[in-house]
Amino acid sequence: MRYTIRYAALLLAFFSFTFSAVYAQENGEVFAQWTFDETLEPSLGEGTAMLVGGTTTHSTTLNNGWRITDFPDQFEGTGTAGAQFMVSTEGLENVFLTFGHRSSGTMSRWAEVQYTTDGGGSWNVLANNGGGLSPHDTIYDFEFDFSDIEEVNDNPAFGVRIVSVFSPVAFNPEEPDEEFAANTAYHRARTEGTGGNEYSGEGNWRLLNVTFSAGAPEEPEPVLPGVVALWTFDGSLEPVQGIGQASLLGGTSTHSTTLDNGWRITDFPAQFEGSGTAGAEFMVSTEGFENIQLSYGHRSSGTMSRWAEIQYTTDGGENWDVLTNNAGALSPHDTVYDFEFNLSSVPGVNNNPDFGVRIVSIFSPVAFNPEEPDEVFPPNTAYHRARTPGTGGNAYSGDGNWRLLNVTFSGDEVTTSTEPGFDLPAEISLFQNYPNPFNPTTLIRYELSEAADVRLDVYNIQGQRVASLVNSTQTAGMHSVRFDGTQLSSGVYIYRLQAGNAVLTRKMTLIK
């Protein structure tokens, strides 16, 4: 059993998100919280709070919490009196309880946390607070961990009690001046040697910001839906999903492969040489997939070509055809740009074990003045460096570099059923966005089990809606939408899918 108690004054702070019944905190998502602002109703989520053991409510205020009094007399009723919270953990696991707790001088410094998994039919002891309510009249922050108790997970009949207990260690209360054996009497919260009255159940406890948090059930490392093959270049040229082979061509060489900077490639052709021959090659089987898409991040140094061309093969590399180019969009330099190319209508690409793509540097297809030298080069005669005109710097050089990040081949699985139509999903699903983290665009996918009125919105961590992506009636099946965070600052964002009465949320991270 693992639990943590922190004896530091509690800084009262809470956030109320209007878009969902959960919000992020250190131990996962908050699914129920009481702030006791003139009520015993939860301020977030669902649950019930009530008194037990004959205690009564003195007051409920946002600043002072739930003030409880009329506890048992000395030597009576240990473990029976305090507060009870019933909350459902359906669909959740790794449950945590956190709260602030303050005691008057004459009330017990010892509290016990009990829990039920059968709706209150029976109660078990989780742990005590270590006598951590002394000195009195101070708010202490407590945290209790239920993650090791399997029965607590995914349970609509879960509940917790916070009750006063006899001191589990022997002590001298000073008033009276005698030794009490362990588990025989309440130990008041007032510090020894400071005088004051002896223990009295007419003292009070205050509970503040009682919060239940949890995580969704842990899942295996997710397989991104519809991804045929994915390279993240985390110290390797092996794909992290799917099967494929990445290799260099045209005399280029690898400078480095890192998760943050991708595949850094250098040693491209010299000026006026080798257009369309040098770069990176990806051989990927598309067996079982159709409507193939290629997406990746691309960054160029200042002296490398701003123009890239996408070539493809459908015969294992015997022949290569030009799909398109990137429109020279690697300028300004030293910036990661997201590219997406649609091969869904290209003959021979779908369901093909001999498919492959090349990303290669090419001469500029439009005339330009490189400034270094100061002359106009006709179309298709020279490489145009990525550095912005008018910013100086060196002329084009193949010793510059490109970086490729998160190279992803995706598609729709080929339907093999001989029956008309296709199988619809059994439930609504909201998938993790990809890529994540992202800059500045990312793809959000979701599945509908039936036609529904759909809203897909993005919120910042303060609960403010920053984008509305979908607001329409949609048919059953898989849907996707691209989110552009260009106008937003770096940080964590929440995307929320509402389809009919179902609401699903996930987090994503924008890093600029």
Average pLDDT over residues 372-388: 92
The span from the CA of 162 to the CA of 129, in Å, is 10
At 224, the pLDDT band (50, 70, 90 cuts) reads: low
Lowest mean pLDDT among 12-16, 423-427, 492-496: 12-16
The span from the CA of 388 to the CA of 190, in Å, is 71
Q: SS in 3 state form for 144-164?
A: EECCCCHHHCCCCCCEEEEEE
At 426, the pLDDT band (50, 70, 90 cuts) reads: low
Lowest mean pLDDT among 10-14, 29-33, 164-168, 358-362: 10-14
The closest alpha carbon to 73, from 202, 206, 176, belongs to 202
The per-residue pLDDT for 121 is 96
Query: What percentage of the chain carries pLDDT values higher than 90?
Result: 67
At 345, the pLDDT band (50, 70, 90 cuts) reads: confident
Other beta carbons less than 10 A from residue 47's beta carbon: 20
Lowest mean pLDDT among 386-390, 421-425, 435-439, 488-492: 421-425
Cβ proximity of 105 and 189 under 8 Å: yes
> Can you say how many angstroms the Cα of residue 443 is from the centroid of all Cα atoms in its chain?
15
The per-residue pLDDT for 425 is 54
Task: Answer positive or negative: Cα dihedral of 452, 453, 458, 460.
Answer: negative
Task: Answer positive or negative: Cα dihedral of 383, 388, 389, 394.
Answer: negative
Q: Is 20 helix (H, G, I), strand (E, B) or coil?
A: coil
By DSSP bridging, strand 262-266 and strand 253-258 are antiparallel
In whole numbers, what is the pLDDT of the chain averaged over residues? 88
- Does the pLDDT at position 27 exceed 60? no
pLDDT digits (tens, 9 = 90+) for 30-78: 999 999 999 999 999 999 999 999 999 999 999 999 999 999 999 999 9
- Does the pLDDT at position 183 exceed 80? yes
- Cα distance between the two ends of the chain: 41
Domains recognised in the chain with CATH numbers: 3-215 (2.60.120.260), 227-413 (2.60.120.260), 429-510 (2.60.40.1930)
The per-residue pLDDT for 11 is 27
Dig out the tokens for 178 from the structure: 């005698």
The per-residue pLDDT for 193 is 83
- Taking the model in full, what pTM does it have? 0.44
pLDDT digits (tens, 9 = 90+) for 290-299: 889 999 999 9
Average pLDDT over residues 100-122: 97
The per-residue pLDDT for 10 is 28
Instruction: Name the one residue in this structure whose structure tokens are 């406890």.
Output: 205
pLDDT digits (tens, 9 = 90+) for 80-102: 999 999 999 998 999 999 999 99
Cβ proximity of 141 and 10 under 8 Å: yes
pLDDT digits (tens, 9 = 90+) for 123-158: 999 999 999 999 999 999 999 999 999 999 999 999
At 397, the pLDDT band (50, 70, 90 cuts) reads: very high
Dig out the tokens for 14 from the structure: 């809470």
- Does the pLDDT at position 333 exceed 90? yes
At 478, the pLDDT band (50, 70, 90 cuts) reads: confident
The per-residue pLDDT for 9 is 29
Q: SS in 3 state form for 377-406?
A: ECCCCCCCECCCCCCCCCCCCCCCEEEEEE
pLDDT digits (tens, 9 = 90+) for 270-317: 999 999 999 999 999 998 888 899 999 999 999 999 999 999 999 999
Beta-carbon contacts of residue 238 (< 8 Å; ≥ 6 apart): 231
